[in-house]
Amino acid sequence: MSPLSALLDELIDYAGLFPPAGLDMAAAVAGFQRHRTGGHADGLGRFVLPVARFAEFEAAVEGRLPVVPDVDDPEQAPDLWAISALVAAAEDLDSVKRDLDAIEAFNDRHTAVGAGAAIVDTIELRAATGDGVDAVLDLLDDEIYPYFELDPATDVRGTLAAVAGLDGGAKIRTGGVTADAHPTVEQVAAFISACRMADVPFKATAGLHHAVRAHQASVDATQFGFLNVFVGAALLHAGRIDAAGLADVLAEESPSAFAMTVDGVAWRERRISASELGEARSRFCHSFGSCSFDEPIEELASMGWIDVPTSAFPSDKDSR
């Protein structure tokens, strides 16, 4: 596996429905379909979809999904559209149950012979306590992988303990459309470090369109870059840095501090191999949600990590 493949493998969950893009359903579905067949489709993860918008999604994907064939050979199975569903908060257990019922019905509809092939295999939901996590985990079967969104402004260690050793992950919101929606370097470092100590994988969402941390006038805030988060997390996972070093990576604002070589990636003098990066991505730092797929790819191209000019990429705005 090359370092680029290890970094990009299903890195970006497509959240085109959400701000700042805020595409309508038809445009978001068209964008996801385009990215699935584009030159960097290996970097595309799941379509992020609220359970409440299932019917709208199903109307928009009519005729776009591959069809489930009437065969027993798994090699002929279609390439299902993978969906990460947003469900009610863990503390609202009755609503969570209703959402899970809706997910089960959705999956039954879209895995039947002749149906458009899609599947919800992950869910995302807020959780404030370990008890809330426990209650949701008791409801889940093995086919659904949960990410529990935790508040990085709090001590998340107790809640992470409820996930540790089980088939689930944590989620952190790393930005938003206002300045006050952005956590501090120290908060993100504490969250990722706590996940590492508990051996709980995580995903991130919001504010990670750019490769490297920088001030963005559109939100009047300094936003994290996805290289800061994922290279930093991978270095921590491989034991190349400690929690203090992670904070330094997260605070880094110089693109030249990050490098990709033929056999690995580096932040300043700290390096990891492609296999170590792949291991970290698989076991620890899973993905991030972004309302744009093109922008992160364009940023890697502008840094020379992808050997394609940025002009070769259509804008996500073309899907509006």
The pLDDT tens digits of the residues spanning 240-250 come to 999 999 999 99
Q: What is the CA radius of gyration of the chain?
A: 19
pLDDT in tens, 4-28: 999 999 999 999 999 999 999 999 9
pLDDT confidence of residue 79: 85
- Best CA proximity match to 12, nearest among 50, 53, 40: 40
Of the pLDDT bands very low, low, confident and very high (cuts 50, 70, 90), residue 311 is very low
Opening angle at CA 189, ends 167 and 271, nearest 5: 90
pLDDT confidence of residue 148: 98
What average pLDDT does range 290-308 have in this prediction? 92
Mean of per-residue pLDDT scores for the chain? 94
Q: Is the pLDDT of residue 205 over 60?
A: yes
Q: Where are the domains of the chain?
A: 3-319
More confident residue, 233 or 320: 233
pLDDT confidence of residue 70: 84
Beta pairing partners, 128: none
pLDDT in tens, 213-231: 999 998 899 999 999 999 9
Identify the residue whose tokens are 């540790």.
Answer: 164
pLDDT in tens, 105-138: 999 999 999 999 999 999 999 999 999 999 999 9
Q: Is the pLDDT of residue 43 over 50?
A: yes
- Asked which of 14-23, 75-84, 142-151, 167-176 is least confident by mean pLDDT, the reply is 75-84
With a pLDDT cut of 90, the percent of the chain lying above it is: 89
CATH number attached to the domain at 3-319: 3.20.20
pLDDT confidence of residue 309: 45
pLDDT confidence of residue 281: 98
Q: Is the pLDDT of residue 179 over 80?
A: yes
What average pLDDT does range 167-189 have in this prediction? 95
pTM summary value: 0.94
pLDDT confidence of residue 319: 40
With a pLDDT cut of 70, the percent of the chain lying above it is: 94
Q: Is the pLDDT of residue 310 over 50?
A: no
